[in-house]
Each structure stands twice: as C-alpha cells, then as structure tokens.
Amino acid sequence: MDSYIVVLITASSQKEADTLSRGLVEAKLAFCVNSVPSLKSTYYWENQLCVDDEFLLIAKTRTHMFDELEKWVVEHHSYDVPEVIALPVVKGSKTYLKGIDDWVPAAPRGANSKTDR
C-alpha cells in the first residue's frame, strides 16, 4: 500500500483558495482539496502578534508528492512563507484511497526507477 498524507495550506482569500485548490488538482499534485472558509489565524510574525481571517485548504495526496506540491504552492501563493504542513493518513477507506492512486502519479515526476536507486 502506498503512503498518503493530508496537507494543510492557508490562503488569504476565497479567490486565492480557489486558485490554489484548482491548480493543485489540475497539476495532479493532489486528488482532492477541501477549502474551509472563515478561519481565524493567530500567529507571531516579524516581532508582532497577528490575527487574520484565512481559508484552510486540506489537500489529499501521496507522501512522495509533498516536495513537488510544496514547491508549486510556494510559487503560486501570495505569502512570502505560506503554511504547507503534511500529516500522515493512518487509515482510510480503500475506495477513497484508490481515488488518490488513480489521480496522483505513483512515482515522482521525472523519477526513473533504474537510475534513482
């Protein structure tokens, strides 16, 4: 069985959340991305306590896709340092996980099993 993760990503607006969600799925970096509106984030940044309204994206993908997904998010995100945090999927519905298997590539792009050992 492949390893799966959920990746948490915050976005500054509905438009950015929609752009990131759609882009991640179209690029086959994630099988599904949920967008949760009305999130209040409290954090410490540049010597200040900040409180912002944000959207939370929850992306489902394969573990080996994290680096490529993170790179894509950083390139397309409005934040200088976007939140991109992965959590392991310990168990899941076999039919749902098959959806990830069917959509997200089984090996990192450009990987060649004969030369990447």
Chain segment 3-20, per-residue pLDDT in tens: 999 999 999 999 999 999
pLDDT at 107: 79
Percent of the chain with pLDDT over 90: 88
> Domain map of the chain by residue range?
4-43+52-103
Please state which of the four CATH numbers 3.50.50.60, 3.40.50.720, 3.40.50.1950, 3.30.70.120 is assigned to the domain occupying 4-43+52-103.
3.30.70.120
* List of residues 6+ apart from 42 with CB closer than 8 A: 49, 50, 51
Binning pLDDT at 50, 70 and 90, where does residue 61 land? very high
Instruction: Tell me the three state secondary structure of residue 40.
Output: strand
Question: In terms of pLDDT, which residue wins out, 109 or 69?
Answer: 69
Q: What is the pTM of this model?
A: 0.88
pLDDT at 111: 60
Torsion of CA 9, 11, 17, 19, to 10 degrees: -90
